[in-house]
Structure 1
Amino acid sequence: MIPSSKWSLHRFFAKHPVIRKYLPPTALYQESLLDAYLRQYDTVYIKPCSTHMGKGIMKVWKQEGGYALVKERGQTVFAPSLEALKERIGQSAGESKHIIQKGIPLSEVNGRPYDIRVMMMRNGAGKWQYAGMLAKVAGADSVITNVARGGGYVTTVRHALQQSRAVPPENVKKLIRELIDLSYQVCTHFNKYKHSSQIGIDWAVDKQGNLALIEVNFDFPSHGLFAKLSDKTYYRTIKRLRSQYLALRARRRRKKPASSR
């Protein structure tokens, strides 16, 4: 079994000829890489390999006279030198492994960045099926879009795209279709990594309307996010598909003893 971490998942999806084009430059964090990443990119993120829900994510960027660092929704910390920055990161990171990743200039709704969660479920036939999508808008002064930890909110993808003007209105439908098609490819490829019956895929839309794959949530992706939308259609679809798949799994279990005799 491949260890389930952000780094192992990045390497796994980097093998896919289509999906790898949507992966931001990423490496296993080492202090020696920090200078190169900050010289090449305006902003970088440092993320724990084994946590979810935005926990422990740090945003780092250059500013006049040094560097700035903020963790989740914490206070911005100033570091006057690269060595001081490394020390700050080391204090926050502890002994756990992290990745370092190019920061994506996310498109914004009213000055707040957002990303898009696409929910994919196995249906009553055990096949992957698109169940819905929404936009997760970051909370005030938060560097993460996770709604629970970052104090943000959810809205429809169409509303977020229209408000942010990330893509022209006539291209919104095309982008949504692309998100769905790519999410099917993510799930099909993921079958080679580990079995899962529900996957929440987080996509970034940058200020030029380009997509990037942020994270693949395959253990317990939140259904409750979709209940926060005023239109409960996606939420009901997710619950219906989940019930159908669990019923299929129960039938398969009941048949196992008979087939083994």
Structure 2
Amino acid sequence: MTKLNTSKWTKYKLLRKSSKLNVNLPETAWLRKSSFWRMIKKYRELIIKPTGSYGGNGVIRIKKMAPSTYEVQDGATKKIFTQQSQLNAYIKKQASKNNIIQQRIPLATVNDRPFDLRVMVQRRLKSPWEVTGKLAKVAGKGFVVTNIRLSSGKVVSVEHALKNSALKTMRAADLLSQLDKVALQAAQKLGPFYPWVRTMGIDMALDKEGNVWIIEVNFIPMLGLFLKLKDKSMFHKMKSFRKNIPINES
């Protein structure tokens, strides 16, 4: 079998074929002027990101503030566009960089800062997939991306994030169980297309209603973030699956 492209766009299209996972996937499209205007009208807030990069690089948020006013946030920098022609020129420039566009999920927050989740799913040779670790990444002040290096955010346990968010009124055990279920379904869907992959770092999110979302799937996840947790047992378990997984987060 020819090796499939491992871009975000290709993996999204494969996951979208699963009837089970459709409800967990934010609408995503290849960035074009037509797809941008269709989706900004539908969702009012979108994320633009490169299909081939990792680590939060190049992620931009665009939010419709008023009928002809749009806020563009790149890192901690915000710009306001009040003319459609200006925004069209900006979108055209971004579209030339092989970007995808995605419905922005209203992430649950800790102290008004959005957080998402890294769920590690691994398998040993000829064994089923299993969840081997989870953590929460809290965005730095003023950022919408949760990448720790880019936003100067912080890593906390998923339990800590849930307890200190508006989701604390929901049963943590139920939320954790749903995260595991969706992560395993994603690995089981992608696994046959990428048979050489035995470790997946799945970036997931909980919205403000507690719904589970798959943001993207990384086949070369770094483990360094798990060393930032007080409990190092998940890190040691993950290392036992693969001796050569990179440790330093890039």
Question: 1:103, CA displacement in angstroms?
Answer: 0.7
Q: What TM-score do you get using the length of structure 2 for normalisation?
A: 0.90
> What is residue 228 of structure 1 aligned with on the other side?
228
Root mean square deviation, CA, Å: 1.9
Structure 2 gap ranges (5+): 246-250
Give the match for residue 131 of structure 1.
132
Q: Which has the larger radius of gyration?
A: 1
Greater percentage in helix: 1
Q: Which residue does the alignment assign to 1:180?
A: 180
Following TM superposition, by how much is the alpha carbon of 1:35 offset from its aligned partner in structure 2, in angstroms?
Answer: 1.9
Query: Partner letter of residue 201 of structure 2?
Result: G
Number of the residue aligned with 1:61: 63
Any idea what SS the aligned residue of 1:27 has? strand
| Amino acid in the other structure paired with 2:176 | I
Query: What TM-score, normalized by structure 1, do the two folds share?
Result: 0.86
The change in CA–CA distance for 1:101 and 1:244 in structure 2 (over 3 A counts) is closer
**Conservation of the 8 A alpha-carbon contact between 2:31 and 2:95:** no
CA distance in 1, matches of 2:83, 2:193: 41
Superposed, 1:25-40 pairs within 5 Å as 25-40=27-42
Q: Secondary structure at the match of 2:77?
A: coil
1:253 corresponding residue in structure 2: none
Give the conservation status (yes or no) of the 8 Å contact 2:56–2:146.
yes
Letter in 2 for 1:223: L
Matches within 5 A, 1:84-163: 84-91=86-93, 93=94, 95-123=96-124, 126-163=127-164
Q: Distance in 2 between matches of 1:110 and 1:86?
A: 35
| Cross-structure match for 1:189 | 189
Partner-residue secondary structure (3-state), 1:188: helix
Could you tell me whether the CA contact under 8 Å between 1:123 and 1:129 is conserved in 2? Answer: no
Alignment size in residue pairs = 241
Identity of aligned residues (%): 32
Work out whether residues 32 and 95 of structure 2, in 8 Å CA contact, stay in contact via their aligned partners in 1: no
Q: Could you tell me how far apart the structure 2 residues matched to 1:124 and 1:24 are?
A: 31
Which segments of 5 or more consecutive residues in structure 1 lack a partner in the other structure?
246-261
Q: Check the 8 A contact 2:178/2:212 in 1, yes or no.
A: no
Contact 2:16-2:22 at 8 Å conserved across structures? yes
| Corresponding residue SS for 2:85 | helix
Q: Per-residue CA shift, 1:89-136, capped at 9, x if unaligned?
A: 334x26321111111100100010001111112236654222110101
Report the alpha carbon displacement of residue 208 of structure 1 after superposing the two structures with TM: 0.8
